[in-house]
Amino acid sequence: MILPYLDTSALVKRYDPEEPGAEEVRTLFTEVRAVLTSSLAVVEAVSAFRIKERQGVLTPEEVRLAVEALEAHAALQYRLVPPKPPVLREAKRLVK
């Protein structure tokens, strides 16, 4: 079985119903039980939720619930793909 891959923006859509395309991502989970995603995408999604909180788009409670759901799904439904060392180096360089 081929698993779909979700990038960070798709992960965020699963937990923020106001995001454009959120319904399509949620519909995907009625069709599949698991997806592939990068372990970095999970971290990036949490960062995106915190940014939305600082912008006043999400409340602290909405962020808490989104992060809890994301972590639960990461443990059960997401097959996490570890980034290769060059990707990690580039990610570290970009955040400096």
CA distance 96 to 69: 29
pLDDT class for 60, splitting at 50, 70, 90? very high
Cα dihedral angle (24, 25, 31, 37), rounded to 10 degrees?
A: 150
Residue 2 has pLDDT above 90, yes or no: no
Domains of the chain: 8-95 (3.40.50.1010)
Say which residue the tokens 């409670």 belong to: 61
Q: What is the pTM of this model?
A: 0.86
Task: Assign 1 a pLDDT band (cuts: 50, 70, 90).
Answer: confident
Average pLDDT estimate for 31-50: 94
Please count the residues of the chain.
96
Does residue 54 surpass a pLDDT of 90? yes
